[in-house]
Amino acid sequence: MKILNSAAEVKSIIKSRDRSFQPFKGKTMAMIFAKPSMRTRFSFETGFFLLGGYAIYLGPDDIQMGKREETRDVARVLSRYNDIIMARVFAHQDILDLAKYSSVPVVNGLTDYNHPCQIMADALTIIEHIGQLEGAKVVYVGDGNNIVHSWLLLAAVVPFHFVCACPKGFEPDERTVEKARQAGISKIEITNDVREAVRGADIVYSDVWASMGQKEEAPYRHQVFQGFQVDEALMKLAGPKAYFMHCLPAERRLLMALWKLPTPLSSHRLRTGCMRRMLSCFTLYPPYSCWRTGIDNSRCGEPVAVLPD
Third-level CATH fold of 2-113+275-299? Rossmann fold (3.40.50)
CATH number, domain 116-271: 3.40.50.1370
187-191 vs 270-271, strand pairing mode: unpaired
How many other C-beta atoms lie within 10 A of the C-beta of residue 42? 13
Per-residue model confidence (pLDDT) at position 169: 95
Q: Is 247 a catalytic residue?
A: yes
pLDDT confidence of residue 281: 55
Question: Does residue 229 or residue 266 have the better pLDDT?
Answer: 229
Q: How far apart are CA 242 and CA 52, in angstroms?
A: 37
pLDDT score of 259 = 59
DSSP 19: T
**pLDDT digit string (tens) for 64-121?**
887 888 999 999 999 999 999 999 999 999 999 999 999 999 999 999 999 998 898 8
What's the average model confidence in pLDDT over 259-284?
51
pLDDT of residue 64: 83
Phi/psi at 210 (5° precision): -125, 110
167 vs 298, residue with greater confidence: 167
pLDDT recorded at residue 283? 57
What pLDDT does 266 receive?
A: 40
Averaged confidence pLDDT in the chain: 83
Please compute the mean of the pLDDT values over residues 249-274 and round it to a whole number: 54
Q: Contact, 201 vs 139, CB < 8 A? A: yes
For the ranges 30-44, 158-172, 246-260, 292-306, the lowest mean pLDDT is seen at 292-306
Query: 60-69 long-range CB contacts below 8 Å, 24 or more apart?
Result: 60/33, 60/34, 60/35, 60/36, 63/32, 63/34, 65/32, 65/34, 65/89, 65/94, 66/91, 66/94
Bridging pattern class, strands 84-88 and 161-165: unpaired
Using the predicted structure, report yes or no on whether residue 273 has a pLDDT greater than 80. Answer: no
- For residue 208, CA distances in Å to 65, 98, 309 come to 26, 28, 27
What are the structural domain ranges in the chain?
Answer: 2-113+275-299, 116-271
**CA 63/CA 202 separation, integer angstroms:** 42
Residue 297 — pLDDT band, cuts 50, 70, 90? very low
List alpha helices for the chain, DSSP H.
Answer: 2-15, 38-50, 71-81, 92-101, 116-130, 146-155, 174-183, 194-198, 218-224, 232-235, 252-259, 274-282, 286-292
The pLDDT of residue 300 is above 70: no
**Residue among 247, 274, 281, 300 flagged as catalytic:** 247
Q: How confident is the model at residue 301 (pLDDT cuts 50, 70, 90)?
A: very low
Using one digit for the tens of pLDDT, what is the confidence trace for 196-251? Answer: 999 999 999 998 887 766 777 878 888 999 899 888 899 999 999 999 888 887 76
Dihedral over Cα of 145, 123, 138, 202: its sign: negative
| pTM (two decimals) | 0.86
Domains 2-113+275-299 and 116-271 share a fold: yes
Distances in Å between the Cα of 11 and the Cα atoms of 4, 42, 121, 165, 301 are 10, 16, 11, 32, 26
Please report the pLDDT score of residue 72 as a whole number: 95
Chain segment 21-64, per-residue pLDDT in tens: 898 999 999 999 999 888 889 989 988 998 899 999 999 999 88
Specify the pLDDT at position 219.
85
- CA distance linking residue 182 with residue 15, whole number of Å: 39
The distance of Cα 85 from the centroid of its chain, to the nearest Å, equals 17
Mean pLDDT value of segment 148-162: 97
What's the pLDDT at 255?
58
